[in-house]
Structure 1
């Protein structure tokens, strides 16, 4: 049966400052701006319609929206919103989306770029430890963006043990 789903098109991230977040993604991941859906200061947005569409907390205003392209993989849509009630980004122990992962080929370069862009790494890269994922050079580490979103850096240059038991494969950029 043919599925109508191809894969993830983009992820949306609400940030406190769209300029700072854009600069972070440019420096940390070589992302580039594709287009601006809403420019900062623009009145070209129906705030009430957006509040209804996204189920925003009443009174929330969208200041800017921007679409970024990663070198390989899904896009990143940044939203700068300000409202009467906002919470910190989810921790991995909270319900809901808790992190996104970026495939890297060189951890030293990737972690250096991440921290130089203002991110904070939680640990050094370490081997993937789940039995289904182990392999020579297969590794990961986590960090957080300047505004607190959690990001995983991951690499699996070697085949994973799960591949022996199924034709299904994880997507790899």
Structure 2
């Protein structure tokens, strides 16, 4: 069996990122861990209802990478592009995340798939989060 487990996101401030992701995406944090012999710390965040997980990672020596201004720009760089959350109401979740401190990257609109709706926001560190309904 193969099953998707989690996505890892490198952040510049672990405690602030834990607070934002926990509040904005309704995630519960496990204890913070450290990797012996390195300056790497992290935490696994769990969405209790659906079971998806996001791992936040922090290294003080990490350097800032490209923060795409749109999903099209993100697709122009190989590697991590975005995470996607399936939601019941794209517009409501988009507004809620903006209120929590996310920034607009693509306002809610029809998705390429017939009948679906999508939007993109960025977390406080520029990482893209797609919202989609697949009705």
**Which secondary structure state, in structure 2, belongs to the residue aligned with residue 123 of structure 1?**
strand
Give, in whole Å, the separation in 1 of the partners of 2:108 and 2:11: 26
Q: Give, in angstroms, the shift of residue 80 of structure 1.
A: 1.2
SS in 2 for 1:108: helix
Aligned residue pair count? 128
**Counterpart for residue 52 of structure 1:** none
How is 1:116-155 mapped onto 2 (pairs within 5 angstroms)? 116-129=99-112, 133-135=113-115, 138-155=116-133
Q: Does 1:11 align with 2:7?
A: yes
Find the counterpart in structure 1 of residue 26 from structure 2: 30
- Asked if the contact 1:90–1:96 (Cα under 8 Å) also holds between the matched residues in 2, the reply is no
> 5+ residue gaps in structure 1?
39-43, 48-60, 158-173
CA RMSD, Structure 1 to Structure 2 (Å)? 1.8
| Cα drift, residue 87 of structure 1 | 2.9
The equivalences for 1:104-119 within 5 A come to 104-119=87-102
State whether structure 2 residue 16 is matched by structure 1 residue 20. yes
Query: By percentage of residues, which structure has more strand?
Result: 2
In structure 1, what is the equivalent of residue 63 of structure 2? 86
TM-score, normalisation: structure 1: 0.67
Alignment partner of 1:99 is 2:79: no
Q: Which has the larger radius of gyration?
A: 1
TM-score (normalised: structure 2): 0.84
SS state at 1:68 partner: strand
Q: CA deviation at 1:90?
A: 5.2
